[in-house]
Amino acid sequence: MISAVIERTIPARTHGRYLVVPPAVSQSAPVLVGFHGYAETAETHLARLRAIPGAERWLVVSIQGLHRFYQRRTNEIIASWMTRQDRKLAIADNLSYVASVVDAVAHEWPVSRRLVFAGFSQGVAMTFRAAVASSPEVAGVIAAGGDVPPEIDVAALARVGAALVCRGSRDEWYTSDKFNNDVQRLRAAAIDVHPLEFDGGHVWSDEVVHAASEFLRGRER
């Protein structure tokens, strides 16, 4: 007789890593928190955020996904935010992780109450989930190459003050239909939406960098 297989889950403590670049100014600064894409690192996304003109006036934080693995060809350590397995539990773990990071940087550096989250590709879903769950109010979200998670309802989305939503016209992952649907959902939540569709593919383009600079300038104070 073959015994039945019983699956269980159990909480396990693990350590995440994040990178911080203090602002060039000495006074309290707004905080820009970034979420990288699939198979990337905190370093990759930090470079994107630091390239935004005006980001030097912000305390810039790049959070790395908890799920690390090796890039097969180069053996480089890369990360992702979650898989389909135990998805709801992973989301809860990630939200707690992000909240801890935001709290830690607020205790270590002088920061203002202005907080913006910015994500690329797979990191966009994490960006929106973290933004609507954040205890400190999020002034805005920058999203490029990824869609708004379907489980977030209008009432929750309304907690985000503004959103810059970006898509490359040749992006096969973040399609035009998904982009248009996201813009409609965000507008239905009475969010100040800034849609950007540029000539390109699945990339954090120069157009995104320029638009992000303008977006941050409007939310510094």
pLDDT of residue 66: 97
Beta-sheet pairing, 77-80 with 67-70: antiparallel
What span, in angstroms and rounded, lies between the C-alpha atoms of 87 and 120? Answer: 19
Predicted confidence (pLDDT) per residue in 99-124, tens digit: 999 999 999 999 998 999 999 999 99
pLDDT of residue 14: 94
What span, in angstroms and rounded, lies between the C-alpha atoms of 171 and 114? Answer: 31
Written as six digits, the tokens of 24 are 């060039």
How much is the pTM? 0.96
Q: pLDDT band for position 164 (50/70/90)?
A: very high
Sign of CA dihedral 89, 95, 98, 104: negative
- CA 142 from centre of chain: 8
> To 10 degrees, what angle do helices 122-133 and 87-108 make?
70
Point out which residues pair with 18 in neighbouring strands.
63
Is-contact 141 128, C-beta < 8 A?
yes
Written as six digits, the tokens of 131 are 């933004």
pLDDT of residue 194: 98
Exposed/middle/buried for residue 221 (C-beta within 10 Å: 0-12, 13-18, 19+): exposed
Written as six digits, the tokens of 162 are 């503004």
What span, in angstroms and rounded, lies between the C-alpha atoms of 165 and 184? Answer: 11
Per-position b or e across 8-19, b if 16+ CB within 10 A of its CB: eeeeeeeebebb
Average pLDDT score, the chain:
96
Query: Is 149 a residue whose pLDDT tops 80?
Result: yes
Query: Is 54 a residue whose pLDDT tops 90?
Result: yes
- CA 75 from centre of chain: 25
> What domains sit in the chain, N to C, each tagged with a CATH number?
18-217 (3.40.50.1820)
Q: pLDDT band for position 189 (50/70/90)?
A: very high
Q: pLDDT band for position 25 (50/70/90)?
A: confident
State the DSSP H helix or E strand holding residue 123, giving kind and residue range, or none if neither: helix 122-133
Query: Is 2 a residue whose pLDDT tops 80?
Result: no
